[in-house]
Chain A
Amino acid sequence: MGDIGKYLGDAGTRAALLDMLLDHVYLSLVPLAVSVVLAIVLGLLCHRFRRVNATLIGLSNVVYTVPSLALFAIIPAVIGTQVLDPLNVIIALTVYTTALLVRPVAEALAAVPAHVTAAATAMGFRPLRRFLTVELPLSVPVLAAGVRVGSVSNISLVSVGALIGTGGLGTLFTDGFRQRYLAPIIVGIVLTLVLALVVDLLLVLLRDRLTPWTRAGERL
């Protein structure tokens, strides 16, 4: 414990930690935001077209078997970025998170009761408006569950990027390991956990703001 106190006592260390934390937030949450949008678009395609559904679900299962470290490696070969470019991590995590979210989105859309969409159509909603104002909001609880898993796993995954030089808080693990020094590793684990917890709480709050009807029954 004294070690940790000493480690954190240094102003330079604290400034570096803040940088790494912000880096970590950037590397994990940008892919999350991008993949939510992508997953909604792809999920809608899955929902509307059967063949797209089979293809995309199959593809997302395959993507999920590729280790992230391998994906970090293959992306430069495919799109021509530098091997140590942080963009690789962002793209890799976007691919994973999208793969993770497509199926729940498609299933949530499919689970919207037919009588609800029929009623919306009968009232004169055009397809796009119906999707945005009826089907999508009703899918939020399922989508939110997927996003929560995605955020937790992204936050823990970014650390692996440290092995290729872009890891946010993960850098603390490689530094600590090289110096045989526990303090940064412990600080890194704790900060990762706290970050995951805080983001999860924010997501829960956001979900509850977006879906007031899910708790309406409880007050009765």
Chain B
Amino acid sequence: MIFADAFAWLVDPVNWSGGKSIPVRIGVHLLYCLGAVLGAALIAVPLGLYVGHTGRGGVVLVGGSNALRALPTLGLVTFLYLVAGGGTTGVLIGLVVLAVPPILAGAYAGVQDVDRGVVDAARGMGMTGAQRLWQVEVPNALPLLVGGLRNATLQVVATASVAAYVGIETLGRPLLDGLRVLDYGQFVGGAILIALLAVVLDVVLAGVGRLVVPAGLRLSAVTPSAQVGAARSSRAQPRRRGEPAPAESGGSTA
């Protein structure tokens, strides 16, 4: 019943044209998400790599990142809106704060989890700190790093709907409007669009992960120590190595 209403709303041509149409809102939604994930990555990736590489400050990093997770995004967004007198900056900062912990966890755990023997060998062969970081630790950290970016993206896409509350035309708009006028078709339709957007972005990022993760690591996800033929022919992954376990990097989805 509600789903039929939602479908009707989704295909209604009225909703596909004009300044507040679905495509415009998808665009705005994407723009904020992109900005937030990029901003968070600029902060969290260097920090995570640095702490993972030097091994210093791990405890502070984990504690700080957990505290960030506890910050309620809606509170942050409304607070910054009132302080800054407008929505854009507040929403962006709120979403960046949301995206930093999973990316940080991915980058830090990625470097931290590189086999100690491999790092020891790199040092023993005469690599400088920078060479070790870029030639050994970063390539091996990529699966978890990309996983962190995927988690962050999922959360940001889901949470950007909150931005509609402070007047930004994201896909959260139909949710809130639908709720206010008790038009459940619009409400559920908006929800479906956000979920679809999240799935599409996740698939895109999974593809990117496949491209950037070195082949030797993808193979190791299949068979820890196996015959070449078997490892080559089967690309199936028993476990999605591209992602940190949610326990390490999950978080709020609003």
Q: Which residues of A contact B (CB under 8 A)?
A: 57, 61-62, 64-71, 73-74, 76-77, 83, 96, 99-101, 103-104, 107, 142, 145-146, 148-150, 152-153, 155-157, 159-160, 162-164, 169-170, 172-174, 176-177, 180, 182, 185-186, 188-189, 192-193, 196-197, 200
> A156 to B69, Cβ gap below 8 A?
yes
Q: Do A65 and B184 form a contact, CB below 8 Å, given A142-B247, A177-B165? A: no
A-B contact pairs, 23 of them (CB 8 A): A64-B154, A64-B250, A66-B198, A68-B253, A68-B254, A70-B190, A77-B1, A107-B245, A146-B247, A163-B162, A170-B75, A173-B72, A173-B79, A177-B81, A177-B165, A180-B82, A182-B79, A182-B83, A185-B82, A186-B79, A192-B75, A193-B67, A193-B70
Q: Do A67 and B1 form a contact, CB below 8 Å, given A155-B70, A156-B69, A192-B70? A: no
Q: Do A67 and B246 form a contact, CB below 8 Å, given A156-B73, A189-B71? A: no
- In the assembled complex, the Cα of A57 lies from the Cα of B252 at a distance in Å of 18
On chain B, the residues within 8 Å of A185 by CB distance are: 75, 78-79, 82
On chain B, the residues within 8 Å of A107 by CB distance are: 245
On chain A, the residues within 8 Å of B165 by CB distance are: 163, 174, 177
Partner of B2, one of A77, A160, A162, A169: A77
On chain B, the residues within 8 Å of A77 by CB distance are: 1-3, 184, 188
> B166 to A177, Cβ gap below 8 A?
yes
- In the assembled complex, the Cα of A193 lies from the Cα of B68 at a distance in Å of 9
- In the assembled complex, the Cα of A71 lies from the Cα of B121 at a distance in Å of 49
> A100 to B161, Cβ gap below 8 A?
no
Q: Do A152 and B247 form a contact, CB below 8 Å, given A62-B199, A69-B254, A188-B75? A: no
B61 at the interface (CB under 8 A from A): no
- In the assembled complex, the Cα of A66 lies from the Cα of B155 at a distance in Å of 9
On chain A, the residues within 8 Å of B176 by CB distance are: 163
On chain B, the residues within 8 Å of A156 by CB distance are: 69-73, 252
- In the assembled complex, the Cα of A153 lies from the Cα of B71 at a distance in Å of 9
* Interface size range on B against A: 35 or more
Closest beta carbon of chain A to B19's beta carbon, Å:
23
- In the assembled complex, the Cα of A6 lies from the Cα of B245 at a distance in Å of 45
On chain A, the residues within 8 Å of B247 by CB distance are: 100-101, 103-104, 142, 145-146, 149
Partner of B78, one of A57, A68, A74, A177: A177
Secondary structure class of chain B's binding surface, majority of residues: helix
On chain A, the residues within 8 Å of B240 by CB distance are: 57, 61
Partner of A100, one of B66, B190, B246: B246
Additional 19 contacts, C-beta under 8 A, given A70-B175, A157-B252: A64-B154, A64-B253, A65-B158, A66-B198, A70-B195, A96-B253, A103-B247, A104-B247, A146-B246, A146-B247, A156-B73, A159-B75, A172-B75, A174-B78, A177-B82, A182-B83, A189-B71, A189-B76, A193-B70
Q: Do A160 and B254 form a contact, CB below 8 Å, given A67-B159, A69-B175, A197-B70? A: yes
> A67 to B194, Cβ gap below 8 A?
yes
On chain B, the residues within 8 Å of A76 by CB distance are: 2
- In the assembled complex, the Cα of A192 lies from the Cα of B182 at a distance in Å of 29
Partner of B184, one of A83, A101, A149, A189: A83
Closest beta carbon of chain A to B197's beta carbon, Å:
9
Closest beta carbon of chain B to A176's beta carbon, Å:
6
Closest beta carbon of chain A to B159's beta carbon, Å:
7
In the complex, which of the residues A69, A164, A193 has the most CB atoms of chain B within 10 Å of its own CB atom? Answer: A69
Closest to B3 in A: A77
- In the assembled complex, the Cα of A160 lies from the Cα of B71 at a distance in Å of 12
Q: Do A73 and B75 form a contact, CB below 8 Å, given A65-B199, A67-B253? A: no
B187 at the interface (CB under 8 A from A): yes
- 1/0 per position for B226-249, CB-CB distance to A under 8 A? 000000000000001000011110
> A69 to B70, Cβ gap below 8 A?
no
Partner of A66, one of B75, B179, B195, B246: B195
On chain B, the residues within 8 Å of A70 by CB distance are: 158, 161, 175, 188, 190-192, 194-195
- In the assembled complex, the Cα of A68 lies from the Cα of B3 at a distance in Å of 17
Q: Do A163 and B74 form a contact, CB below 8 Å, given A69-B172, A153-B252, A180-B82? A: yes
> Top 6 nearest A-B pairs by Cβ distance?
A70-B191, A67-B158, A196-B70, A146-B247, A77-B2, A65-B198
Q: Do A73 and B70 form a contact, CB below 8 Å, given A100-B246, A159-B75, A177-B78? A: no
